[in-house]
Structure formats: structure tokens, C-alpha cells
Amino acid sequence: MPSLGNKFFQLPFSRISAYLKVPQQNMYNLLKPPEAVLGMTVLKRELFDKVVEVPVLILKDIKLSSVVPVLKKYLLKVENLKPIQHATKEVLIYLNPLIVKQWDDISEDDRQKLFHEAIKKDCLKNIPYTFNYDNFSAEDILRAVLPPDKEGLSSFTKVGHIVHVNLREHLLPYKNVIAKILFDKVPGCRTVVNKANIIDNTYRNFEMEVLTGDPDMLTTIKENNCRFKFDFSKVYWNSRLCTEHERIVKKLQGGDILFDVFAGVGPFAVPAGKKKCTVFANDLNPESFNWLKYNFEENKVNKTHYNLYNKDGHDFIKDDVKMHLPKFLESGKNVYITMNLPAMALEFLNDFVGLFKNETLPEYSKPPLIYVYCFAKGEDYMEITKNKIKETVSYDLSDKIVDIFRVRSVSSLKEMMRVTLRLERDILIADRKRKLDDDSSEVENKKAILGDNNGKEQEETK
């Protein structure tokens, strides 16, 4: 995933003696867009023109293979400018003006090496060069345009030909200029969209506004040696989870069993099926279900390796997982269950508590592994995650936790977490009703001790 974070040009001060009298900020700005573009809400590319004196070595009859290794660290590296250019009878080598302004700014050792190639002080000339919009990176342009006293655009996501941003309210006046910059600068971009609201509907897709480009939301991406096609406006997809999808799929081997409760368009399920696992993949969203089916077929996964469902996750667990799980437990197969719905997946763990009666469940030696995802808001995200499990699940899973892994940072103090749990027999045959009755009795006892009013407050905040 591309990022527009705080990356600063590292200045080698040992070789910029000519600039010691110039304020550091001015030096940094030398190769940045001009100040005139600050606050721009309509993109005017001509305003990015900026003349800078650039040191250029003008060379004749030289062997480049001997010279380039010496000068490599001094070369001017900006977009759409070749630092080594061949003229009719000369070679022009553009050097970074932040590093070199005069001959002595090149280290003595390097000057000696150049001297042996007949390159001397009089070969270096300072030549005015006009930098323009094409020479600046998207990061530099956005930082120059957007208000410096507020949080800028920290990142974007590319989904096939679509670049997706999530603009905070203070950036909305700049949305058109942001879109044009990304459209120009991100390779392969044909569409820029802004998420219009949070994901709060049943199907986990969000409303979006097309800021610029082609309104076509049908896109195709490659991930995990598979091709996924879908309508980005109607399904959930997050390219930042590519590495996590790969981590889980790598754990699976041919012949393993995967129950994917919230399969989406198939980032876990399709590559698992391609590895000849037996996959049971479910998603409530009819659009996701249709693309899930399409992606299995498009990636030529044998139909004997997958079973697809368009159901609520609770029903999928209580009906289909319950139906098929016992035979795999009895056979000693490796069973995995993925639950990637971080906003509420922990609630679905309750469906496994007491899923079977004791006599209907065979003994087994290989407990299934559940990979369940959640969000943790706060500094101690590991402890927060453990507490969320305790508060959400009606059965104590503390000794079933194999691992808690931070998948990625969503925002400041908000982490996406993956919890790995062993689905042991005592969970599946637990008397959930008795557990709930015990909890009710505990609340009643608190009421008796603390008084009715205080007891109500305790119950509400639990």
C-alpha cells in the first residue's frame, strides 16, 4: 500500500559547506514546490514552475562506467529528470544542489578519482534549471498545497485502477485538487474516490464519491497468485490486508479444512481452495457471494474443493459448521476457521459455545484453530483485546488463546488485532444456559449487596 507519511530528505551536512550560512528550512525547500501553491483548491500546474541553480558536470570523451560509481551519491534524483543526459558531443551529469554547489563539496577522495578520469573543477557549472509539476512527487505536492498546521493526507489505498482516500472534514475543501494530484501521480490510476461515511451497514460496503476520472467501479486485482474481480462500490475490500491474507494462507496445506465465516470476495477462501484445501466459504452480502463464486471459477479452483453459502454468519456456524465439523474432527484433519469482521466478529464466538451436545460430538486430538479479528482502541492493545474477549464471549476462553497479533494500525490508538484460539471440546459442549444463569445470579447478588439503584448502574456499565 502506498503511503504519504512524514519522510524527510536526509541532508549529508559533511558535504554541504556552501550552504552552512543558509537556514536549514530554506535548504530543505530548495527542491520542494514553491510557496505560491499553498492553499490551492483548484490545480494549476503552471504555478509549480521553479527555477533552481543546479550543479552540472559537462564531460567529453569519458568512460561513464568509471565515473558513475564515484558520482552516484551526488546525483540529482527527482521525478521525470534523468541525472545523466547525452548531448551531441557531451555528457551532462546533474548533481543534487543540496549536496554540491561547488567543486570542494565533493569529497577529496572522490575528487582524486575524478581527476584520474580527466574530470576537473572547470567541468562543473551551475546551470539554471526550471523544475515543474512533473518533477515533484505526490507527497511533496500535497504537503506544499495542504494546510501545514493540520493533519494532511497520510495515506491512500489503490484497488486496481481505483485510488481510494478517506478525507477528514478539514480536507474536504481540497478534495478536488487532492484527487487531480493522485490521478496524475499514481501509476495506473483511472478513478479517485472518497469514502463518504463509515462502514455501518449490513453488507460492510460504504458510500463513496467519485472525485475524478472514470466512474467505473468494476476492478480486478492480483493477490496471493489469484485474480479477484468485484464491484468496489458494493463489496468490502481492503488492500492493506494483503499481507495478512498471505500469512493465513501460508499456514494452510492441501487437504486442510477452512471454514470462512465472512469470506467477502474470497481473499482467504480462493487461494486456500487453489491449494486443494476443502473450503466452506460464506458471506451475507449477495454481491460478495456472487463475486466469491466468480473468483473461484475464474481462478480455476476445482469445484470439489469449495462449498459456498450466502447466509448470516450466525446461521452459517449453527447450521453448516455444526453439520460438517464432526466428521473432520473424527478424521484428524487440520481445521481452521477465519472470522474477519473486526467490528463484531467476537460476538460470533458465542455461537461455538454449546454448539453440540456431549453425546453428538466425537472425541478429537486436533482442536480447530479460530482466527478472529477485532479492533483495540487504546495504548495497551494486547490487554484491551483480552478484556474484549472476556466481556463479549459467554465462556472463559483465557486458556484457549494461542496468540494475539497486531495486524495493522487503523488510526491513532486504534489497532486491528488477530486472536488465535483453540476450539477445544469443552467449548463446543458447554452448557451455555447454565453459564448465562450464573451470570444473572451474580447480578442479582450485586443488587442485593449494593442496593437496587446502584445495582442498576453496575449492570448498565458492565
Give me the helices (H) in 116-205, please: 138-145, 175-185
DSSP-assigned states of every residue in 299-310: TT--GGGEEEE-
d(CA 462, CA 452): 15
pLDDT for 155 equals 80
Contact yes or no for 320/280 (Cβ under 8 A): yes
Describe the strand order of the beta sheet including 162-165 as a list of residue ranges.
Answer: 157-159, 162-165, 191-195, 208-213
The rounded distance, in Å, linking the Cα atoms of 84 and 235 is 47
pLDDT in the model for residue 88? 83
Question: What does the alpha-carbon distance between residue 446 and residue 133 come to, in Å, rounded to a whole number?
Answer: 68
**Is residue 425 a contact partner of residue 395, using CB atoms and an 8 Å limit?**
no
Predicted local distance difference test score (pLDDT) of residue 27: 61
Which residues does the annotation place in the binding site for S-adenosyl-L-methionine?
245, 283-284, 312-313, 340
Domains of the chain: residue spans and CATH: 13-31+50-131 (no CATH), 149-216 (3.30.300.110), 239-430 (3.40.50.150)
**CA nearest neighbour of 77 among 96, 59, 62, 51:** 96
Residue bearing cell 442498576: 456
N-term to C-term CA, the chain: 39
Largest CA distance in the chain: 98
pLDDT digit of tens for each residue in the chain (462 aa)? 444 433 333 334 333 333 334 444 466 689 999 999 999 999 999 999 999 999 999 999 888 999 999 999 999 999 999 999 998 889 999 999 999 999 999 999 999 999 999 999 999 999 999 999 999 999 999 999 999 988 888 788 999 999 999 898 999 999 999 999 999 999 999 999 998 765 555 655 668 899 999 999 999 999 999 999 999 999 999 999 999 999 999 999 999 999 999 999 999 999 999 999 999 999 999 999 999 999 999 999 999 999 999 999 999 999 999 999 999 999 999 999 999 999 999 999 999 999 998 888 999 999 999 999 999 999 999 999 999 999 999 999 999 999 999 999 988 889 999 999 999 999 999 985 545 455 554 545 444 444 444 443 333 332
Annotated binding site: 245, 283-284, 312-313, 340
Predicted structure pTM score: 0.79
